[in-house]
Amino acid sequence: MVFRAGVKAGDGVSKMSDDWGSCVEREIVMPTTLAGQRFDAAVHHVWPEFSRGRLQKWIKAGAITANDRPIQNKTTVRGGERVRLLAELTPEQNWSPQAAELDVRFEDDDFLIVNKSAGVVVHPAPGHAENTLVNALLYHAPQLAHLPRAGIIHRLDKETTGLLVVAKSLMAHAALVEALQARRIKRAYLALVWGLVTGSNTVNKPIGRHPRVRTKMAVVDSGKPAVTHFQIKQRFAQHTLLDVQLETGRTHQIRVHLASMGLPIVGDPVYGGRQRVVAGASFLVRERVAAFRRQALHATALSLAHPRSGETVCVEAPIPEDFRALLNALSETTA
């Protein structure tokens, strides 16, 4: 069975049982494969649904014990210990719910997929505590306050539009994070770039912090592995619309990789370089390109296995109106 865009799962998906409004209780025998590790790292390995910071607080409070005795975060694991967790579940962050419109493309008891608009910041930050996607999600589903990062599994930049996965339970959060790390969540994007692309390509270049501009990312030898695949969807006189698939998920990955190939995304204020002129184009084309002041990048499709049932969930999001208008104008100059 495949769930598609706009569908809310019903009887085919089991109801979840959660810890909300009560105590969290877990018990395991510590695997010998974790011997030698710090206890805070080891319990995060066996209970990845909880953030390491939260587990460290519980250890300090005596809510996590080994063989019925208190431990410290730095205590060394021997293996074979009977480890018990008994704690009250409280909000991860002091973020406020805020009524706002959400374009929810899929939702059931375990997770939801939302279509983010341009200009929306995902997480609250100093100086920007309201009007974020997290604020809206907490109003829509208050239990997200108990999840790491309000359940958001991966991020989109402020001006990038499209689909995001949000867990609604600890079980779903752990499963979806593991699926993302194992590259089992398939993400497809549309990117409009400057330049004429001649064929499909794969960019396999490490990405890390820019050596001089710390607010930017860059292709650097010391960076983390990053792989991006792209192929032509439509060609224009001076631009190409690309289908892009992420194999990894580094910060600004698509923007950095395409710029490194001499194919900066139209409107990208950080990696797009100087403003360009569309030679020989009509006034409408020149006006539309000049006015598009955000990166022309849209997360258009997601495919993943349901964290509880294992059934495939496929969701798509239409191109936003401003992006569509730009493509319509450029169609005058199709190569």
**CB of 195 closer than 8 Å to CB of 235:** no
pLDDT at 90 over 80: no
pLDDT of residue 23: 74
pLDDT of residue 280: 72
pLDDT of residue 334: 59
What mean pLDDT comes out for the span 309-314?
A: 96
**CB of 326 closer than 8 Å to CB of 193:** no
Enzyme catalytic residues: 157
Please count the other Cβ atoms lying within 10 Å of the Cβ belonging to residue 232: 15
167-181 pLDDT, tens digit per residue, is 998 889 889 988 998
* SS3 label, residue 131: coil
Residues 6+ apart with CB under 8 A from 57: none
Residues 6+ apart with CB under 8 A from 193: 239, 240, 242, 258, 263, 264, 265, 266
Banded pLDDT at 129 (limits 50, 70, 90): confident
279-294 pLDDT, tens digit per residue, is 777 787 888 888 898 9
* SS3 label, residue 323: helix
Q: What is the C-alpha to C-alpha distance for residues 207 and 218, in angstroms, rounded to an integer? A: 6
